[in-house]
Structure 1
């Protein structure tokens, strides 16, 4: 991993928290640096970025204090995703809402063009990237 790749990953993590980067912008930047996927872990408050060559970088991402709900609600996760797509809330609001919906984190599969949201009991909801 080179310095430019690491800087891009850190900038994307910070940009999501501050709202200065949109999801499509983040995906574009990461893809241009060879990142094929990343994992946002709400419990550990960190995001792990994975390069195609197997290297990875863990970046601390302080999430809002909010207890994760036990029941997983696909409908509530979908609603939070749609609000994000319409730029109706911040990333931190998105995190709060998905945690309230029982989500403990998600994997963004850049090369696979999808996001997998998962709950405490193994529930999974998949969102495909819009075309």
Structure 2
């Protein structure tokens, strides 16, 4: 599946070096979640990818702390204090206060509009989101 995600990594506007499986494991432990396999395989190739207006939060990489300060863990914890259920992981934002998230152990992509209570399912998986990211605006 990792090779399959290479084509999606190439579509990213940014080309930051991916992270190790250990970095992803640490993120899962810190948030008490399971990250989706497509997501993990993408982030192993390109950390903090960008698709359309959506900028993915990086996974903290101890070898590159300056570029991964504002990471998935920090943003997810912040959003949880603002009411995001603990089963969700905040993965990307568009600069408007809206963000994308996933549920622990699931592949579906949710959109959290800052004006609404609950995240809304918008895509069945990460590949589907990337294929439609340019057209998806919130």
Fold shared, TM-score > 0.5 on shorter chain: no
TM-score (norm 2): 0.31
Higher strand share: 1
TM-score (norm 1): 0.32
